[in-house]
Structure 1
Amino acid sequence: MPLVHSETIGEHCTLLLWKLTETEDVLRKSLGSTFNSDELGLISHPQKRREWLASRMLVKTLVEQFGIDYMGLHKDEHGKAYLVNNSSHISITHTFEFVAVAINPVSSVGIDMEKEDEKLRRTSRKYLSPSEYAHAADEISPLCMYWCAKEALYKMYGRKKVSFRESIFIQPFTGKHPQLKGILTDELTIIKSDIHLRWFDGHCLAIAL
């Protein structure tokens, strides 16, 4: 997997972005026994299997850069990924073309990546508040930014059953702004986040800290 981008975001978070080029067999051999074969067995689509394996390969590469012995990755009851026998926080995203991982040793992190696509218009009323919908003006780039920012904040929080439309709000922005402000509310919980945006070949990448 050729490295496309690496960056330290904030004081502690490290981001790696790779281009997905390997076959499933190559990824399996590279990972050895350090992946959850039961979880992989639940995925039937060949491309999704490649993306899943590639994301684990990238996690392994990243944590080993920190001098950490990679012992695998599991998910909690909410589906949030965590490292086996290590307290560093981690988040994963993958598309047809890219795989990205963020690791933060001190606090939770969320990451998402999405390609600018017409489907964002078809679904926008489901994930945007009325004011956000009006602000996006049915334009693909802001719709993509809203979606990625909300998804990243949702993944940083790491709990299920949170409404993107009713519980996650992104402050208005202009153009392809590199940093957004977001807030998530869930009963008595309120989380404010700085959400960093990057663009790669028509894909928006969002990292919530």
Structure 2
Amino acid sequence: MPLVHSELIGETCTLLLWKLTETEVELREMLGKSYISQELDAISHPQKVREWLASRLLIKTLAEQFGIAYVGLHKDEHGKAFLIDNDSHISITHTFDFVAVALNPFAAVGIDMEKCDEKLQRTSSKYLSVPEFEHAANEIDTLCMYWCAKEALYKLYGKKKISFKDSIRISHFEKSDELLEGRLTDETLIVTSKIYVRWFDRHCLAISL
């Protein structure tokens, strides 16, 4: 798993991005049996198995950089992942080619990565508000930024049943922007976020803080 990118995001969040090149057997050997949970047994697709193993290996690597003894993850009722026996906040994303993890010791974090793909054009009306839809103008890079930014903010909030179209808004931006502003509304609660954007080989990566 060659390290592609490492960066301090904001003042306290660390990002690691790895290229996924190993086989399932290699990843299992690298991670070790003691870190493989029953969650993996429910995954049948070979590529998804590789992504799961790689993401746990990367979390273990990042946690150890902070002096955290990695003993595994647990998920709450919304499916949000947390380190066992440590209060640091983490977020995970993986695609066919990449695995990325963000760790923030002090506050929630959300991360998402997506490859520019035509499916974002086919489904854009489902996740964009009318002004966002008009701004994107069906341009795939812009759509990818919108999707990743919304998904990252959704993962930072960590609760289900939030409408990307109606409840998460991203302020107007230019394609060259590396810092976006996001706003999530859940009934009377409002969550605002700075969202950092990075590009790697036609993949958009967004980190919500």
Task: Name the TM tier (shorter chain).
Answer: over 0.9
For residue 33 of structure 1, report the CA deviation from its aligned partner.
3.3
Matching residue of 1:108: 108
DSSP 3-state at the match of 1:68: coil
Structure 1 Cα separation of the partners of residues 145 and 116 of structure 2: 9
Summarize deviations over 1:82-123 as a string: whole Å, max 9, x none.
000000000000000000000000000000000000000001
- How far residue 189 of structure 1 moved from its aligned partner, in angstroms, is 1.1
Equivalent-residue separation in structure 1 for 2:176 and 2:155 (angstroms)? 22
Q: Matched residues in 1 for 2:120 and 2:34: separation?
A: 35
> 1:152 and 1:32 mapped to 2: Cα distance?
29
Helix, strand or coil at the partner of 1:41: helix
How do 1:1-209 and structure 2 match up within 5 A?
1-209=1-209
AA at the equivalent of 1:96:
F
Instruction: Tell me by how many angstroms 1:30 deviates.
Output: 1.6
Contact 1:141 1:176 (C-alpha < 8 Å) held by counterparts: no
**How far apart in 2 are the matches of 1:97 and 1:132?**
28
In the TM superposition, what whole-angstrom CA distance separates every residue of 1:41-77 from its partner, at most 9, and x where no partner exists? 1111000100011000000000001111110012111
Please tell me the residue identity of whatever aligns with 1:40.
L
**How many equivalent pairs are there?**
209
**3-state DSSP of counterpart to 1:74:** strand
Q: Percent identity?
A: 70
> Would the aligned equivalents of 1:36 and 1:74 in 2 still touch at CA under 8 Å?
no
Q: Which amino acid aligns with 2:86?
A: N
Give yes or no for contact 1:36–1:73 (8 Å, CA) kept in 2: no
Q: TM-score, normalised by structure 1?
A: 0.98
C-alpha contact (below 8 Å) 1:111/1:152 kept by paired residues: yes
| Contiguous gaps of at least 5 residues in structure 2 | none
Offset of 1:34 from its aligned partner? 4.0
Relative distance call for 1:34 and 1:182 in structure 2 (3 A) is farther
1:23 Cα deviation from its structure 2 partner: 1.0
Opposite residue 105 of structure 1, the aligned amino acid is: P
For the structure 1 residues 89 and 149, does the alpha-carbon distance in structure 2 shift closer, same or farther, using more than 3 Å as the test? same
CA distance in structure 1 between the partners assigned to 2:33 and 2:65 by the alignment: 19
Once residues 134 and 30 of structure 1 are traced to their aligned partners in structure 2, the CA distance between those partners, rounded to angstroms, is: 47
CA RMSD of aligned residues (A): 0.8
Native 8 Å contact 1:198 1:206 kept in 2: yes
What is the Cα deviation at residue 175 of structure 1? 2.0
Q: How far off its partner does 1:24 sit?
A: 0.9
Residue identity opposite 1:174 in structure 2 = E
CA distance in 2 between partners of 1:74 and 1:86 (Å): 11
> Where in structure 1 are there 5+ consecutive unaligned residues?
none
